Amino acid sequence: MKTLRTLGLGLILAVSGLFISLLFMGQYTLSSATFENFITQNNITSSVFIKDLEQSVVDKEFSTPFYLANTIAEAVESANTYHKANKEWAQVIWTKPHSLAYQMVKSSGTGIVVQNKRRLWFLSFGLGILGALLFMLPALNLKGPPGIKNNHIFHSSATNRGWIAWLVFTFLILFYLVLYFRPSYMVNWIYLVDPISESLSGNPASQWFLYGFLYCVIMTVMAVRMYIKYRHNKYQTLRTTSVLFFQIVFAFLIPEILVRFEKPWYDFKNAFPLDYDFFFRWNLNELLDSGGFGLFILVWGIALTLVIVPVMVYFFGKRWYCSWVCGCGGLAETLGDPYRQLSSKSLLSWKVERWLVHGVLVFALLMTGLTLYGYFAGTYEVLGIKVQTLQDVYGFLIGSIFAGVIGTGFYPIFGNRVWCRFGCPLAAYMGVIQRFKSRFRITTNGGQCISCGNCSTYCEQGIDVRAYAQKGENIVRASCVGCGVCSAVCPRGVLKLENGPEEGRIGSSNILLGNEMNLMDQLQDK
Amino acid sequence: MEHIAIIGNGISGITAARHIRKLSHKKITVISSETDYFFSRTALMYVYMGHMKFKHTQPYEDWFWEKNNIALKNGFVTQIDTSQKTLVFSDGEQLEFDKLIIATGSKPNKFGWPGQDLKGVVSLYHKQDLDAIETFAPNNSVCKHAVIVGGGLIGVELAEMFHSRHIPVTFLVREQSYWNAILPSGESQMITNEIRKNGINLRLESNLKHINADANGRVKSIVIAETGEEIDCDIVGLTAGVSPNIGFLESSGIETNRGVLVDRNLQTNIKDIYAIGDCAEQRNAVEGRRPIEAVWYTGRIMGETVAQTICKKETQYTPGHWFNSAKFFDIEYQTYGWVNSEQHLKPNEAHFHWMHPDHNKCLTIAFDKTTQKFLGINTFGIRMRHEVFNRWLDQNQSIDYVLEHLQIAHFDPEFYTTYYHDVLKKFNSEHNRNLKLKKKSWSQIFTLKS
Ligand SMILES: Cc1cc2nc3c(=O)[nH]c(=O)nc-3n(C[C@H](O)[C@H](O)[C@H](O)COP(=O)(O)OP(=O)(O)OC[C@H]3O[C@@H](n4cnc5c(N)ncnc54)[C@H](O)[C@@H]3O)c2cc1C
Ligand code: SF4
Ligand code: SF4
């Protein structure tokens, strides 16, 4: 058993090495034919840009994608500076420099990686999955019979902010930075999933396809870990299955297949305002141009946010979304599960959380309000603010940095729900409903709490569950995502997530805590 | 302003302090020689096992005390001068009080075994014990074998702790079956098996004779009284129960027996001096209960009660129906009301017992043979709703009623399998009855308000 585990770890390390060295492999030549094709297809009229690249790049061979990408991006920028100075607006290239660079680099790869996509896929993804499974499966035996086995979590440098955690942190941050801002640097990874992308949507893979695919793979592998860890707990295994299903089918397969049938890419479970660009001009136009189906998506998207979400939160709490459906939640509950104990439980964090998460909600609503006003009024500027600028700022700060780089990158240091707790505008919206109008609560079992603190320690949302439980009070908190782990780890059977009548939902069971006299006193005091 | 001094910052002392603060502006000083801040000793095991850091065992952030104007003092009280209303500390310092609450908890029992004070002999009660265990048993190469003496709840916790670091454990228990003075035999047997299933070498009907030292005065081995067998070990855990920690009261004039004797208002023989928690002993036990109850809940209840008495009006300690819970490796245990072991069966007490075929879940219901009144329930591997059982005990429900309504008392997480149909089937066949399980209804679960 231990040997299998070591073997698995060895494979994981070897595959990580391979993934990193892959970045530096292959050759890149932007042939004149491809280049001309690209220029015509993308309507690029900047003679400066074309001349520049023809001299510096076209038909030359590069041994890494980095230099090529940077040269192209710089060419875009210097051409634009020139055209803008000369007020030649028609020649300015509006595509973002590194998006354009990515597209060119993607079509210029030659050599080992491009020629061995499937083989390398197997060596990297395939062996990686195998390694991870070999590493995890022995837990079935090594960690003893089913039950809560949190042994040594705070002794391990991977799960207690030790050097492994910092290493993973660095890797994740770099990954997200490259993904969002320099996709061409990871073009070799993207090549590997081309065959899969082609079989689904008919198109070669983009960085987003790679991300989606990786997301599904990681969630699946880490879900296996959840199944092992919580094999005694049906709530946990069912909700893991549920998030996995929604990720693979709704967020990954259906959108790709829609594209194959020339319909807009759409994730049916992704509700506004988490799906912050739903009301952006380009999206509305695309939907309206796609006939009946586009219209259906439009109506569905609006109904999802205005009707389905609140009604479901009323009956089941926001957990129906955050812990059973959502993709961000799905990753947090699988890849992020080993890090849930790192969330801060201090009162200060709670204060910061409330300001931040509601701040993002207000920002998202303002941005959307202005966007829609601009859309219907047919203007690009509202109240002297360029709608586009506002969207770019939101997309950059919230969409990329907060949700991605910080949201996932910070898992090993600040816990697995940093985004869900501090940033997600949809969570903020559902939280308000959950707090004030919902049947969901975590019931505290009378006076059974021994204040041990397991619940608070393992609450990924940083809720001090114990503070309520030891007073015999139910937990009714806006931020609770209903993961059910507090209930699972409680050694005294104190906590139960349930939906019940609103009456007496918060109620404390003082009578069981203290003196029976007490209750009489309290009644008289009132 | 009246000054309330509290000796002991455990659950009882801290609860008293918090409630006095809620009810008044009196000056409060909480004294302890153990740790600066209140922590949950119930969670000590989880720190060693790496489930938590010590910081996580502290229910309140450090700023809480100053903000609530509760003064904390680290020091050991050696004497109480009751006439001058003054505490004397080990360093000679003195502190005057107007009212005093003694909440000094327990200390582990040592029965005069030869070698009981050697290096490497530990118990599990105070934070210092945890530190000692960490020193003597950091891993299984420094500590190749551990022996635990005494089969109560803390003994099992200690066994689980060593087990988490892969240290082989021999567990000496006096009884014929684990905890069978408290648990009915079916349950005791099940837990005995659970302990063994986890690889613990549980030795029943075995007593400690003495502990041997090596040349450096460290534990080397122990000898079993019954067999004379010598077992090599690097650490010995003594977990043969606890008794009130009141040695420092000897010449104070405060009346003691095993614990500090108190009346129903929790006052000692001396006016304005109270005792609560593990260290308090009721002069006349509350009906159906033991005079000393060393559990978390009663400490908390007494803390609340004494705060009422000090700040509002004389209030009697009225703990309500007995309840408790524990965990034995992977099996959770809850109890409501009284279910006695065969050894201590009350006259007229009968049991109905159901065991899951996998032998990891069971329940026992105690009832009165003649009146059929429900007396109490033990459940293992099944969580039950405290509120509901408390109500049923209040209402003197019958065992029939309880069985038929078990769904209402169900507290396992959602989607868990329930076994109550099986339970009823067994009861019906044993008693030749035809009870039917009633459906769960929200209004019955939450009737507390109406
Ligand atoms: C490992 C373990 C697990 C447990 N698990 C459970 C459980 O699951 N459920 C349950 O109900 N109960 C459990 N208990 C019992 C429960 O913890 C005790 O009943 C409870 O802590 C007693 O609280 P207390 O406030 O009376 O005293 P304590 O918590 O003992 O606090 C007394 C404090 O006073 C200090 N003190 C004593 N004398 C002096 C002095 N002269 N000067 C200054 N300071 C002094 C002590 O150092 C100590 O800090 C467990 C106990 C242990 C040790
Ligand atoms: S309170 Fe419990 S259910 Fe809610 S988020 Fe925290 S651990 Fe999960
Ligand atoms: S885990 Fe359970 S017993 Fe421990 S503090 Fe939380 S509710 Fe209380």
Note down pLDDT in tens along chain B; length 450 residues: 899 999 999 999 999 999 999 999 999 999 999 999 999 999 999 999 999 999 999 999 999 999 999 999 999 999 999 999 999 999 999 999 999 999 999 999 999 999 999 999 999 999 999 999 999 999 999 999 999 999 899 999 999 999 999 999 999 999 999 999 999 999 999 999 999 999 999 999 999 999 999 999 999 999 999 999 999 999 999 999 999 999 999 999 999 999 999 999 999 999 999 999 999 999 999 988 999 999 999 999 999 999 999 999 999 999 999 999 999 999 999 999 999 999 999 999 999 999 999 999 999 999 999 999 999 999 999 999 999 999 999 999 999 999 999 999 999 999 999 999 999 999 999 999 999 999 888 777 776 443
Q: Which helix (H) or strand (E) holds B31?
A: strand B27-32
Domains along chain B with CATH numbers: 3-107+243-311 (3.50.50.60), 121-240 (3.50.50.60), 323-445 (3.30.390.30)
Residue B423: other Cβ atoms inside 10 A: 22
The better pLDDT of the pair A505, B38 is held by: B38
Contact assessment for residue A507 and residue A474, using Cβ atoms and an 8 Å cutoff: yes
Note the helical H segments in A230-346.
Answer: 234-245, 254-260, 281-289, 291-303, 309-316, 319-322, 327-334
In this predicted structure, the answer to whether residue A416 has a pLDDT above a threshold of 70 is yes
Contact assessment for residue A446 and residue B390, using Cβ atoms and an 8 Å cutoff: yes
Q: Tell whether ligand 3 has an atom less than 6 A from the beta carbon of residue A228.
A: no
pLDDT value at position B444? 76
Is A509 within 8 Å of chain B by CB? Answer: yes
Distance from the A371 Cα atom to the nearest Cα atom in chain B, whole angstroms: 43
Nearest to B433 by CA among B399, B388, B396: B399
Query: Could you give the CA distance from residue A365 to residue B82 in angstroms, rounded to a whole number?
Result: 67
Helix/strand number for chain B, H first, E second: 12, 25
3-state secondary structure of B60: coil
Q: Tell whether ligand 1 has an atom less than 6 A from the beta carbon of residue B277.
A: yes
Q: Tell whether ligand 2 has an atom less than 6 A from the beta carbon of residue A482.
A: yes
Is A446 within 8 Å of chain B by CB? Answer: yes
pLDDT value at position A379? 87
* Ligand 3 closest atom vs CA B40: 5
CB contact under 8 A, A521 and B308: yes
pLDDT value at position B449? 41
Nearest to A242 by CA among A254, A233, A250: A250
Cis (ω within 30 of 0) for the bond into A273? yes
Query: Could you give the CA distance from residue A453 to residue A188 in angstroms, rounded to a whole number?
Result: 47
Contact assessment for residue A234 and residue B413, using Cβ atoms and an 8 Å cutoff: yes
pTM for the full predicted model: 0.95
Mutate which of A424, A461, A464 for ligand 2 pocket (most atoms within 8 A of beta carbon) = A461
Query: Could you give the CA distance from residue A201 to residue B301 in angstroms, rounded to a whole number?
Result: 65
Question: Which chain B residues are closer than 8 Å to A516 by Cβ?
Answer: 318, 320
The tens digit of pLDDT for each residue in A227-273 reads 999 999 999 999 999 999 999 999 999 999 999 999 999 999 999 99
Mutate which of A490, A495, A496, A508 for ligand 3 pocket (most atoms within 8 A of beta carbon) = A490
Q: Where does A381-473 show beta strands of DSSP type E?
A: 381-382, 385-386, 440-444
* Local confidence band at A510 (pLDDT 50, 70, 90 cut-offs): low
Query: Could you give the CA distance from residue B333 to residue A4 in angstroms, rounded to a whole number?
Result: 36
3-state secondary structure of A459: coil
Q: What is the mean pLDDT of chain A?
A: 93
pLDDT value at position A523? 38
Q: Tell whether ligand 3 has an atom less than 6 A from the beta carbon of residue A465.
A: yes
Query: Could you give the CA distance from residue B133 to residue B154 in angstroms, rounded to a whole number?
Result: 14
* Residue located via tokens 């192209």: A72
Q: Tell whether ligand 3 has an atom less than 6 A from the beta carbon of residue A148.
A: no
Contact assessment for residue A449 and residue A456, using Cβ atoms and an 8 Å cutoff: no
Q: Where does B278-416 show beta strands of DSSP type E?
A: 280-282, 323-328, 331-337, 349-355, 362-368, 374-380
With a CB cutoff of 8 Å and minimum separation 6, the contacts of B366 are B337, B338, B339, B340, B349, B350, B351, B374, B375, B376, B377
- Cα A35 from chain centroid (whole Å): 35
Q: Tell whether ligand 2 has an atom less than 6 A from the beta carbon of residue A484.
A: yes
Give the closest residue (by CA) to ligand 2 atom 4. Answer: A480
* Residue located via tokens 């799960």: A159
For B261-317, give the DSSP string. Answer: EE-TTSB-SSTTEEE-GGGEEESSPPTTS-S---SHHHHHHHHHHHHHHHHTS----
Distance from the B408 Cα atom to the nearest Cα atom in chain A, whole angstroms: 13
Closest CB from B320, B411, B443 relative to A493: B411
Q: Nearest 5°: phi and psi at A27?
A: -125, 155
Distance from the A448 Cα atom to the nearest Cα atom in chain B, whole angstroms: 7
**Which chain B residue has its CA at the smallest distance from A147's CA?**
B330
CB contact under 8 A, B46 and A454: yes
Distance from the A427 Cα atom to the nearest Cα atom in chain B, whole angstroms: 23
**Which chain A residue has its CA at the smallest distance from B322's CA?**
A512
A474 Cα to the center of ligand 3, angstroms: 12
A residues 217-246 lying closer than 8 A (beta carbon) to B: 232-235, 238
Q: B210: which 2 tokens? A: 């003495």
Closest CB from B385, B411, B448 relative to A504: B448
Distance from the B174 Cα atom to the nearest Cα atom in chain A, whole angstroms: 26
Contact assessment for residue A336 and residue A406, using Cβ atoms and an 8 Å cutoff: no
Contact assessment for residue B449 and residue A500, using Cβ atoms and an 8 Å cutoff: no
Note the helical H segments in A182-270.
Answer: 187-192, 194-201, 207-229, 234-245, 254-260
* Ligand 3 closest atom vs CA A456: 6
Instruction: Name the CA dihedral angle for B339, B342, B343, B346, rounded to a multiple of 10 degrees.
Output: 50
CB contact under 8 A, B387 and A156: no
Mutate which of B245, B246, B328 for ligand 1 pocket (most atoms within 8 A of beta carbon) = B245
B residues 94-153 lying closer than 8 A (beta carbon) to A: none
pLDDT value at position A118? 95
* Ligand 1 closest atom vs CA B158: 1
Query: Could you give the CA distance from residue A211 to residue A176 in angstroms, rounded to a whole number?
Result: 10
pLDDT value at position A514? 52
Residue B93: other Cβ atoms inside 10 A: 11
In this predicted structure, the answer to whether residue A515 has a pLDDT above a threshold of 60 is no
Does domain A441-515 match CATH 3.40.30.120? no
Contact assessment for residue A458 and residue A489, using Cβ atoms and an 8 Å cutoff: yes
**Which chain B residue has its CA at the smallest distance from A504's CA?**
B449
Eight-class DSSP state of B256: B
3-state secondary structure of A247: helix
For the CA of A491, the nearest ligand: 3
CA distances from A255 to A250, A264, B68 (A): 7, 8, 56
Mutate which of A341, A422, A463, A498 for ligand 2 pocket (most atoms within 8 A of beta carbon) = A463
pLDDT value at position A330? 97
Long-range contact set of residues A87-94: C-beta below 8 Å, sequence gap at least 24 = A90/A45, A91/A45, A91/A46, A91/A47, A91/A48, A92/A46, A93/A44, A93/A46, A93/A49
Is A466 within 8 Å of chain B by CB? Answer: yes
The amino acid present at A418, given as its one-letter code, is: V
Note the helical H segments in B71-213.
Answer: 127-136, 153-164, 185-197
Q: Which helix (H) or strand (E) holds A455?
A: helix A454-458
Question: Which chain B residues are closer than 8 Å to A145 by Cβ?
Answer: 197-198, 329-330
Closest CB from A346, A470, A501 relative to B446: A501
Eight-class DSSP state of B33: S
Query: Could you give the CA distance from residue A371 to residue A281 in angstroms, rounded to a whole number?
Result: 7
Query: Is the reported ipTM for this assembly greater than 0.90?
Result: yes
Closest CB from A145, A504, A513 relative to B446: A504
B106 Cα to the center of ligand 1, angstroms: 6
Contact assessment for residue B388 and residue B323, using Cβ atoms and an 8 Å cutoff: no
Nearest to A503 by CA among B448, B396, B43: B448
Distance from the B328 Cα atom to the nearest Cα atom in chain A, whole angstroms: 10
The amino acid present at A215, given as its one-letter code, is: Y
With a CB cutoff of 8 Å and minimum separation 6, the contacts of B333 are B325, B326, B327, B378, B379, B380
**Which chain A residue has its CA at the smallest distance from B157's CA?**
A491
CB contact under 8 A, A147 and B320: no
* Local confidence band at A448 (pLDDT 50, 70, 90 cut-offs): very high
CA distances from B211 to A45, B53, B140, B147, B148 (A): 92, 32, 20, 10, 12
For the CA of A463, the nearest ligand: 2
Give the closest residue (by CA) to ligand 3 atom 3. Answer: A449
Query: Could you give the CA distance from residue A179 to residue A183 in angstroms, rounded to a whole number?
Result: 5
Distance from the B320 Cα atom to the nearest Cα atom in chain A, whole angstroms: 6
Query: Could you give the CA distance from residue A16 to residue A124 in angstroms, rounded to a whole number?
Result: 8
Contact assessment for residue B24 and residue B119, using Cβ atoms and an 8 Å cutoff: no
pLDDT value at position A517? 42
How many beta-carbon pairs under 8 angstroms link A with B?
178
Nearest to B139 by CA among A151, A158, A491: A151
Distance from the B114 Cα atom to the nearest Cα atom in chain A, whole angstroms: 35
pLDDT value at position A509? 54
Closest CB from B42, B308, B449 relative to A504: B449
CB contact under 8 A, B415 and A521: no
Contact assessment for residue A233 and residue A222, using Cβ atoms and an 8 Å cutoff: no
Query: Could you give the CA distance from residue A152 to residue A217 in angstroms, rounded to a whole number?
Result: 27
Q: In the Cβ-directed half-sphere of A415, how many Cα atoms lie within 13 Å?
A: 20
pLDDT value at position B53? 98
For the CA of A483, the nearest ligand: 2
Is A55 within 8 Å of chain B by CB? Answer: no
Nearest to B239 by CA among B128, B50, B109: B109
Contact assessment for residue B255 and residue B271, using Cβ atoms and an 8 Å cutoff: no
Closest CB from A448, A491, A498 relative to B414: A498
* Residue located via tokens 């020339």: A262
Is B385 within 8 Å of chain A by CB? Answer: yes
pLDDT value at position A526? 31
A151-163 mean pLDDT: 97
The amino acid present at B401, given as its one-letter code, is: Y
Instruction: Name the CA dihedral angle for A39, A45, A51, A53, rounded to a multiple of 10 degrees.
Output: -40
With a CB cutoff of 8 Å and minimum separation 6, the contacts of A93 are A44, A46, A49, A76, A79, A80, A100
Query: Could you give the CA distance from residue B214 to residue B114 in angstroms, rounded to a whole number?
Result: 14
Q: Would you kindly state where each structural domain of chain A is located, as residue ranges?
A: 27-110, 158-440, 441-515
